[in-house]
Structures are given as C-alpha cells and as structure tokens.
Homo-oligomer: A and B are copies of this chain.
Amino acid sequence: MRVQRVLETCLYVDNLDVAEIFYTTVLGLTLDSKVPGRHVFFRCGDAMFLLFNPCTTSQPGGDIPPHGTLGSGHVAFATSAAELPAWRQQLQDQGVPIEAEVTWPGGGQSLYFRDPAGNSLELATPTIWGLPG
C-alpha cells in the first residue's frame, strides 16, 4: 500500500477572520467554505488548504477526531521562478515582510514570510526538490 498524494494540508490560527483576509488577498486562495470560530477552508490546486482554530478543533466529542496545534506551522506553496519578482512585489504591496530569501545550492529559490498567526509560509520553486518547475 502506498499513499499517492496529500489531499488536505492544514495550519492553525488564532484569528480565522484575519487569516481568511490574508490568505485570499495576499495569496489569492479560493475560499471553499467556513464555520465561524472553527475553520476556513480553501481550494488550492487539486487539493485543499485548511485553517483551523485549535481551541475548537482540539476539543473531543464530535464525529471527527480532535486535532490542533500551538506554535508556528509551516507550508510551502509552489511558484515558478518567473513569478518570483511579482510575488516579491505582491508581498511588499500588501505590507508583508519577507523574512528570508534562499537560493538553494542545488537550484531553485524560496521566499519566506509569516501569516498573521505567525505560521512560516514559503513560496518556492518546485526545482528545489528536483520537481518540474
């Protein structure tokens, strides 16, 4: 048995409303659905990107097993090398500081920044993993 691909990637945030604005306006994610105080779900490629309020989802008792984390999670989104200058401009226009920028020895580049909850986000060329860019 072999897992084929990731269907849901999750991060946890303290303020879902602020996070929804950030992920839609800064990263252009498509809102799928939301439940106030619990979650905001986005579509991203052929998969889902999910934000949860851990204060809610870590409570046991529902049909879905509890989960929830504290601290800074990490997600990288794919970008092309050609789009990186436009992403730098987009982050600057939106007032989002670039925390680090890495040119990898094996090829490819990454931009690092934070979401409003402090999660570490990355825009990276798939070439950093030897994947088609």
Complex interface: chain B residues within 8 A of A68 (CB): 71-72
**Given known contacts A100-B63, A102-B64, A112-B65, A4 and B70 CB-to-CB distance under 8 angstroms:** no
Question: In the assembly, what is the distance between CA of A52 and CA of B83, in Å?
Answer: 28
Known: A1-B87, A1-B90. A67 touches B6 (CB 8 A): no
Which chain A residues in 23-76 approach chain B with CB under 8 Å? 27-29, 32, 43-50, 52, 54, 58, 63-76
Contact-residue bracket for chain A:
35 or more
A17 at the interface (CB under 8 A from B): no
Alpha-carbon distance A22/B16, docked complex (angstroms): 32
Report the nearest B residue to A42, measured CB to CB. B3
A78 and B1 within 8 A (CB): no
Residues of A in contact with B (beta carbons under 8 Å apart): 1-10, 12, 27-29, 32, 43-50, 52, 54, 58, 63-79, 83, 86-87, 90, 99-100, 102, 112, 114, 119-120, 122-124, 126, 129, 131-132
